[in-house]
Structure 1
Amino acid sequence: MSTRERGGVGPVYWLISGASGRDGVFVLDLAGLGRSLPVFSFKEEAELFLALGGLGEGWRAVESGAGDFLSLFFGPAADVKSVVLDPLPNMFRDSTAGLVGLSLGRFMDRFLGVSGADVVPEPG
């Protein structure tokens, strides 16, 4: 988890988001993980993914905090089942992305610092 905090309100992560007419965030369908969201601990990691990934123009790294993720997972990305932490593009080609994948609920539990009876329910 990034130690840098956004406005003192908790940890931040970075997502790949559409720009220049694209909507939403970059997600993938992965065997064994389902619909998955790449999430990065630092902006530089997200930018490296963009540089190596061959996604083309119109994608950018965007900072996201807990509120952004909750809005995303209970809204336009409600079909996301897992999160892949700090991936490199080749991890999706050689099927090693599952090694750094977490279920959506587990990611949010860790993100929000909850455990046990306080666990966040899985959306959908």
Structure 2
Amino acid sequence: MNSFLSSTSQTSQDANEVLVNVIVKQQADGRTVASVPGLPELQVEASDRTTALSELQQRLETHLAGAEIVSLPVKLPSSDLKNPWLAMAGVFKDDPQFEQVLTAIENYRQELDKYTDDNFPQA
């Protein structure tokens, strides 16, 4: 879908019409500014909302005369949000000392836990 097309649809919409999102702002002086997002050259200021939208519609139709609106599929670059630790998974599966390392880690962990329990009693 084109970036400035509305996601809403009308059942009475003609086959050669598209819905365009428009930003409408009421100014402090009472005037109305209407613009098409993404097309800065299509901005209109008028005394009231109805006039602003009408003028903007005319300018947009003139701007799009002879043009074609198409949607193009675009492949986004891979963000590679993969877990970097997964690249290391299983690298020691065939290491003959792997079990000994795991046992040493477990023993050291138990020593730390005992030291913490003995020296820092919890209330």
* TM-score bracket for this pair, using the shorter chain length: under 0.3
- Structure with higher RCO (Cα < 8 A, 6+ apart): 1
TM-score (norm 2): 0.24
Q: Compare the two structures and name the one with the higher strand fraction.
A: 1
- Is the radius of gyration larger for structure 1 or structure 2? 2
